[in-house]
Structure 1
Amino acid sequence: MLSDVEALVLLEAFLFAAGDPIEKTKLADLMDLSTQRLDLLLDQLKRRYQIDVHSALRLSEINDKVALSTKAELGESLSLLFDPRNRQDLSQASYEVLAVIAYSEPVTRSEIEMVRGVNSDSIVSRLIERGLVEQRGTLDVPGRPGLLYVSELFLADFGLKSTQDLEAVDLLMYDEVSEYADEETERKLKKLSEENSDRKLEETEDHDVKETLVIAIDGPSGAGKSTLARELASRLSILFLDTGAMYRALALKALRQGLNPADEAEIQQMLAATDLDVELAPDGQRTFVDGIEFTQDIRTPAVSQAASDISALSVCRHFCVDLQRALADRQSLVLDGRDIGTYVLPQATVKFFVTASLEIRARRRYEEMLQKGENGNYEDVLLDMQQRDYNDSNRALAPTKQAEDAILIDTSGRSVDDLVEEMLDLVKKRANVNLNVPDRD
């Protein structure tokens, strides 16, 4: 049996010699290892590359495959090695076509044309030529149109394991869509834009009557978003929307019906017959599914695992985002995340972008792990958080970023009480609503 050192050397050799992504199961067979031990070795190798500042390599995971690749920050320099024609930036239209394929795969050329309102055959052909898109099989209808998917090269270039890692994006939010749309689509988009403008004006005029307040809090992991959101909601006596509970409740329903939480077709059918709702209670949020309260039953390990699976489904993401928007239309609430102010609730009354230094955020997360009795060390947490920050902020579609009208809040070295008092003052100044906030004793 190979020692860990010998196995790591052999693993690195296989990955280097393979060149292209190689399936984990094939690696395990070649090295005569269990999949569990292979995963541990891959994790060690990945961390070694992350820690070694003198190494140009990183370990990339794509679906169920792994490969050695160069670190992202070297991309511009390495591009000098290749044909200048292959170094040209993609056009906005190409990005739009890529987005349609990535979010809808498998998809046909005619379906892409329906979304964009213009023939995209030439763009698809160029994307196939560049290796970012590939055709796999045909649709079983007259004419047998080809089925298009994004390629493993696309996933590697965008730092994704699979298209399931893509964040939900409303393609109609891209201003450029109307530039290429046909006349009818452009007319509809213009009408929709005018209706949105009229609605925003009406909401602004009616704030003092409706007295609703929607607060969006975004920011990187470990910045203190949830802590501040809960405390702010408590001080304002409004709902703190626990989005995790929403996914957990849906996962529990799936388990009780004997469904696979990772099967998009099964979950889509379930959601079509699901009524999910939440309400504010003295001890927090109460979550209801089809009129039955699930609040006390959604914190088990089995539900946690199922929630992780179901939340990765785009159909579930859209279902929950639609509900979050509906809730925000009818009641005051505080919601935290990474794209609340830019995507989920772009019309929020007040937006905050909460941040802190990387070291402080990593220390907070590490201390949380210790309190829960979890194993780990600060250096690993720091590296993981640094990589997550990079991935989130450099994501091609819907990156984590501060909304233009969001207020920046730095939580480094400050107490929760101090921060909440500042945020309350800012809410009073920004929001055209009547606030009766009790003073802190």
Structure 2
Amino acid sequence: MSQPVVVAIDGPSGSGKSSVSREVARRLGLAYLDTGAMYRAATWWCLRSEIDLADTAAVAAAVRAMPLDQGVDPSVEKLEVDGADVRADIRETWISEKVSAVATNLDVRAELRRLQREAIAGQTVPDSFSEGRGIVAEGRDITTVVAPDADVRVLLTASEEARLARRARELHGAADAAAVDATRDQVLRRDRDDSTVVEFQVAADGVVTVDSSDLDLEQTVDAVLDVVARLTGARPRA
């Protein structure tokens, strides 16, 4: 078996991290980890448990006890908390408006980073979903804190205009002025709040920047695959 490949992809909201990372993982035959979904699931769990998000100690304790079951198959999304399928719920506005309160909790970040590192390490051994081929992990601080030794580290970025339009189409099916305004808070405030505890908008040393402002999904996936091939030799499976 060839050496496992770990690909870490970071970037601001609306840059396309999830869609691109999932497709890159699928084409390379790797596992896929959406770390942002973990923070959203933690927010769902705390709100369902009626925990005051301002009580940082209670939130951290709840997250440490959270019964999370997250799949790593890029073709079959699975995210359950205490047996409940939360894939749709975590994308709702009521979660988007609250997730930064959880994501900026440093004790929560420490716990979820631990889980993320375990998930990444778990895909470098033969007895795993990827059969030891590796994983694509994406989300805040993945390239600098969670997996700074990843074989490939990419900062996927895009202009504010492009990011707002993408999120508007994703949530509202259109990118007209009203739809863009409706998503502005979710995208820009989330980035502003999260940037108080982690840097994800400027590439650190050794991190390759891919600007997707003028690229569609297919072109962005190809750009990231080119970086992976250049740094590791790994190419899409036939």
TM over 0.5, yes or no?
Answer: yes
Matched with 2:232 is: 431
1:393-435 Cα offsets, whole Å, 9 max, x none, are 9869746310211222122332322332232232123126xx4
Q: Structure 1 residues 362, 275: CA separation in 2 closer, same or farther (over 3 Å shift)? A: closer
Structure 1 SS opposite 2:70: strand
Bigger relative contact order, structure 1 or 2 (CA pairs below 8 A, ≥6 apart): 2
Query: Gaps spanning 5+ residues in structure 1: where?
Result: 1-207
Matched with 1:164 is: none
CA contact (8 A) 2:15 2:157 kept: yes
CA contact (8 A) 2:30 2:136 kept: yes
Matched with 1:63 is: none
Letter in 1 for 2:28: L
Q: Structure 1 residues 237, 311: CA separation in 2 closer, same or farther (over 3 Å shift)? A: same
Does residue 1:422 correspond to 2:223, yes or no?
Answer: yes
CA contact (8 A) 1:228 1:420 kept: yes
Equivalent residue runs for 1:174-213 within 5 Å: 211-213=3-5
What percent of counterpart residues are identical? Answer: 31
Task: Please identify the structure whose Cα radius of gyration is greater.
Answer: 1
Matched with 1:400 is: 201
Alpha-carbon distance in structure 2 between the residues aligned to 1:306 and 1:384: 10
2:88 counterpart (266, 283, 299): 299
1:351 Cα deviation after fit: 1.0
Q: Structure 1 residues 215, 378: CA separation in 2 closer, same or farther (over 3 Å shift)? A: same
Does residue 1:351 correspond to 2:153, yes or no?
Answer: yes
Alignment length (residue pairs): 225
Does residue 1:242 correspond to 2:34, yes or no?
Answer: yes
Matched with 2:105 is: 313
Q: Structure 1 residues 403, 252: CA separation in 2 closer, same or farther (over 3 Å shift)? A: same
Equivalent residue runs for 1:265-414 within 5 Å: 265-274=57-66, 276-281=68-73, 283-289=75-81, 292-294=82-84, 296-297=85-86, 299-300=88-89, 301=92, 304=95, 307=99, 309-331=101-123, 332-371=134-173, 376=178, 378=180, 398=199, 400-414=201-215
Q: Structure 1 residues 275, 431: CA separation in 2 closer, same or farther (over 3 Å shift)? A: farther
CA contact (8 A) 2:8 2:142 kept: yes
Query: Gaps spanning 5+ residues in structure 2: where?
Result: 124-133
Structure 2 SS opposite 1:284: coil
Matched with 2:129 is: none
Alpha-carbon distance in structure 1 between the residues aligned to 2:195 and 2:53: 29
Alpha-carbon distance in structure 2 between the residues aligned to 1:378 and 1:298: 23
* TM-score where L is the length of structure 2: 0.71
Structure 1 SS opposite 2:138: strand
